Structure 1
Amino acid sequence: MRIALLSDIHANLPAFEAVLEDLQKQKPDAVYCLGDLVGYNVWPNQVIGLIRSHGIATIAGNHDLKVSKIHPSKETCSTEKSSEYAYKLVGSKERDYLLTLPRHLKVEFQLHEDTLNMLLVHGSPRSINEYLLEQLPEDYMIEMVKEFKADILCFGHSHKPYHRIINSRENGADHFHHLINTGSVGKPKDGDARACYVMLTIGPPASTKSHDGVQVEFIRVKYDVEKAAQAVELGFLPDAFADNLRKAY
């Protein structure tokens, strides 16, 4: 089974459209979005519309939940640039959708006599705002995946993609866990301005006892970065957001 994982679109419509076009070529069996549909750019409603029309199962990100505190205003335009402008653009129906998104999704695979549990979160299983950075101590990550019974833990939030394999060794036997940060579709922070998403392959060799049984591919997609950056500059968002897109930091 091939599963596409994407996250952190952040209202970047050109980037998301490019990823959707690439997904049509890739033809995954399932697509999941790990949150943060809005924030930082001017197309939140269009992105939400595409997520819904494509039937992409989605969980809430920390930016999605910010709309509960910032209500749409009749005067969304202002003479002052502000990051809050991105949330004021969210329509009432779109706001209701964001606030009903689940926090986690769990998927269970039964392969041969082994069970693989995949947990999808935005930040971490413990907090939507926690950054699971690649350099975190292995003991900390082992404690977390054991607490939440996650053989495959998928998350976003930091916008920095990586795949890390750790071994919890239970009862003297190997037990491998896969930690997968999907990177960001609409606001990469790893120096590569292209949109990023993950293709996860769960095949017959997949097992908690196998180090290499789960295949993870990071797919980078070119899109019109300048169009997205100029939309920021022409709107009422901080110009620094445009620089973030161009330089991917």
Structure 2
Amino acid sequence: MNNGTDMVRIAVFSDVHGNLPALEAVLNDIEKRGIQQKFCLGDLVDFAPWGNEVIEKIRDLNILCLMGNHDERIAFNIPVIPLSKHSEEETEARFVAIDHSKKNITEANKKFLSELPFHLKLNYKVGGRHWNIQLVHSSLWSNDTYLYKTESDELFSDMLKESQSDIIVMGHTHLSFKKYLNTCWAVNCGSVGRSKEDNRLASYLILTMNEKEIFPEIVQIAYPIEETALAIEESAIPDYYAAFLRNENISVL
């Protein structure tokens, strides 16, 4: 993308997980800030009951979106494999929640998910400077790799070098962070609809670019969590995820 302006701002968000109230809060906040360009890193479905509505809003607003691991699983009916890091309770809830999506996401929306790109590389010209931005769901190599702030700087530097980027932005872990590596950035924008941070706020990223620097700002905003929790309890999705959103002493990894 080519913009011969003095400053460019874009918004990047990820991991909505069927949580329409959280998505609407984030989109409203982006609009209030006057940011026109929005990108999603995937995982539109599972765990809250508005999977179809979330997909349709992303599609209708023409928001460029990547294929998260949950999107891929629902689109192609990939079997669920238990993860060793999950408790027995979470494993059982996870199976039920994903099965709910497989049964309830429409065929048209599954087709939409199946056609999403795996990565997205952006190039913005701001003044005389080109900025390269690499968007991934979880890493360059997979959409199901858990990379946390505690990973080595070398790992993120290798991704930046391989992608020839000034900044790499990811989601997937539901935990936001920023790491400055010499002149480059590795950033996790957190989760819109299923944050694992203690505050459970909806999280997204604003990238501001001028001719001299690119600056990432993680924004966290409140949304009606109780509305989502009640909707989960009124659906066939396990109440486990309502308790998690309320932060009722449940550890979800």
- TM-score, structure 2 normalization: 0.84
After the TM superposition, list the runs of 4 or more consecutive aligned residues in structure 1 that deviate by more than 6 angstroms.
none
Q: Secondary structure at the match of 1:197?
A: strand
Deviates more, 1:11-20 or 1:103-112: 103-112
| Residue of structure 1 equivalent to 2:207 | 200
Pick aligned residue for 1:95 from 79, 87, 110: 110
Deviation at 1:114, TM superposition (A): 4.6
Q: Secondary structure at the match of 2:246?
A: helix
Pick aligned residue for 1:57 from 51, 64, 78: 64
Structure 2 residue 11 is the aligned partner of structure 1 residue 4:
yes
| Residue of structure 2 equivalent to 1:119 | 134
Deviation at 1:109, TM superposition (A): 2.7
Conserved? CA contact 1:196–1:218, under 8 Å: yes
Instruction: Flag the structure with larger Rg.
Output: 1
RMSD: 1.8
Conserved? CA contact 1:70–1:88, under 8 Å: no
Deviation at 1:121, TM superposition (A): 0.5
Conserved? CA contact 2:203–2:221, under 8 Å: yes
Deviation at 1:70, TM superposition (A): 6.4
Pick aligned residue for 2:193 from 186, 192, 206: 186
CA distance in 2, matches of 1:62, 1:125: 13
**CA-to-aligned-CA distance 1:146-171 (integer Å, 9 cap, x gap):** 1221211011000111111112xxxx
Cα gap change, 1:70/1:138 in structure 2, threshold over 3 Å: closer, same or farther?
A: closer
Deviation at 1:113, TM superposition (A): 5.6
Cα gap change, 1:244/1:229 in structure 2, threshold over 3 Å: closer, same or farther?
A: same
Deviation at 1:112, TM superposition (A): 5.7
CA distance in 2, matches of 1:151, 1:31: 19
Deviation at 1:115, TM superposition (A): 3.5
Q: Secondary structure at the match of 2:12?
A: strand
Deviation at 1:242, TM superposition (A): 0.9
Query: Greater share of helix residues, 1 or 2?
Result: 2
Deviation at 1:87, TM superposition (A): 3.0
| Residue of structure 2 equivalent to 1:214 | 214
**CA-to-aligned-CA distance 1:67-115 (integer Å, 9 cap, x gap):** 11169xxxxxxxxx81221332111110100000000111113456654
Tell me the percent identity: 35
Structure 1 unmatched runs, 5+? 72-80, 168-175, 206-212
| Residue of structure 2 equivalent to 1:69 | 77
Structure 2 residue 226 is the aligned partner of structure 1 residue 234:
no
